[in-house]
Amino acid sequence: MANILFHLGHPAHFHLFKNTISFLKENGENCIIAIKKKDVLEDIVKKKNWKYYNLLPNGKKKGIISLIITQIKQIWGIYLLCKKNKIDLLCGTSAAISIVGKILNIPSFNFNEDDAEAVPLYAKMSYPWANRIYSPDICSVGKWKDKKYSYSSYHELAYLHPAYFTPDENVLQEYGLSKKEKYFILRLASLSAHHDKNVNGLDKNTVKEMITILNSYGKVILLSEINLSDDIKMNTISINPEDVHSVLSFSTLLISDSQTMSAEAAVLGVPFIRCNDFVGKLSYLNELENKYQLGFGFKSNQQNESVECLKKLVLDENLRENFQKKRKLLLQDKIELSSLISKEIIEFIHEKNL
């Protein structure tokens, strides 16, 4: 039996690894889970009834000093877990696992789908010490390409591929929704991570304008990490984290400044409008937008263009049908990622006789 530590720093990381962790547990491996407080991460881990360790129960504060302190806390926490549990392999999307792995001579597998040039601090802190870097074939890992293990997929296909995910139509009733009626999702991210410095997304005036337009065609669901005025908040609806992907799957359109949710919409065949300053800088989203034409990207200085795009899309009566066809083409090209991650870890375990 191998002792494998997974470090989860974001709800998306939970989804990325959840099927692999379940598979490994079912096959008798010991999975140690370390998390930090981020959005609903702790809530969704709890619902799995998995034992976990919260390394940052109070969350992360803004600022470079706070970033350094939280990194040290996570490194120290993972270090102690490794010593206590005799960890054989570290997996995650954090610099902490790479650094601790180097210190304790424990192999680390680092998973990332952002290009190194877009997240340079993360790359410099993580990649020099990682044993393997797992990344989509279209993504750059900078000068550490000799460590790269490529695959033809996206993180989102580890949990939203049809092999694992079937949307539940019944959850829509809880929110007064129906797949027979149009509804739209507006997702506003906080853009507060270290790599989001000087990155802007949708502005509040544009959000108001979009809501006014969308209200003429159907219901609007607003999912926001930022404080909003009361006239915008009235469109807010609270959705159970377990239901988000089903609600997204049956929606007509996503408007967002979130990378992850935009990609999730794309692999579900839901058109997205993404507005932030990462547009054009991330290879996997460039591919979703340009090759597969599953979404539309606009920078923060293109607010008007994003509104015009919205106006055109809501008039398309065949929107869902057309984008579901595009999704089928994507699924023909891409693999289901959870099986690959599980296979890589199992092969490593056998290779090392763990």
Q: Class of 169-333 per CATH?
A: alpha beta
Angle between helices 204-214 and 303-314 (to 10 degrees): 10
Which pLDDT band, with edges at 50, 70 and 90, does 199 fall under? Answer: low
Instruction: Please check whether the two domains, 3-160+336-351 and 169-333, share a CATH topology.
Output: yes
- The reported pLDDT for the residue numbered 163 is 96
- The reported pLDDT for the residue numbered 223 is 85
- The reported pLDDT for the residue numbered 61 is 61
How many whole angstroms separate alpha carbon 63 and alpha carbon 158?
32
Domain locations along the chain: 3-160+336-351, 169-333
Tell me: the pLDDT tens digits for 248-297? 999 999 999 889 999 999 999 999 999 999 999 999 999 999 999 999 99
Which pLDDT band, with edges at 50, 70 and 90, does 216 fall under? Answer: very high
Compute CA distances 242 → 18, 51, 117, 148, 163, whole Å: 13, 19, 33, 32, 18
Q: What percent of the chain is predicted at pLDDT more than 90? A: 79
When pLDDT is averaged across residues 173-194 and rounded to a whole number, the result is: 82
Which pLDDT band, with edges at 50, 70 and 90, does 218 fall under? Answer: very high
When pLDDT is averaged across residues 137-151 and rounded to a whole number, the result is: 97
8-state DSSP, 127: T
- The reported pLDDT for the residue numbered 196 is 44
Q: Which of 63, 199, 213 is nearest to 119 (CA)?
A: 199
Chain mean pLDDT for the chain: 92
Q: Which of 354, 20, 308, 302 is nearest to 159 (CA)?
A: 20
Indicate if the pLDDT at residue 136 is higher than 60.
yes
CATH topology for 3-160+336-351 is Rossmann fold (3.40.50)
Min mean pLDDT across 8-12, 162-166, 290-294 is at 8-12
- Listing DSSP states for 239-279 in one string gives --GGGHHHHHHT-SEEEES-HHHHHHHHHTT--EEEESTTT
Indicate if the pLDDT at residue 129 is higher than 80.
yes
Tell me: the pLDDT tens digits for 55-113? 988 765 667 788 788 899 999 999 999 999 999 999 999 999 999 999 999 999 999 99
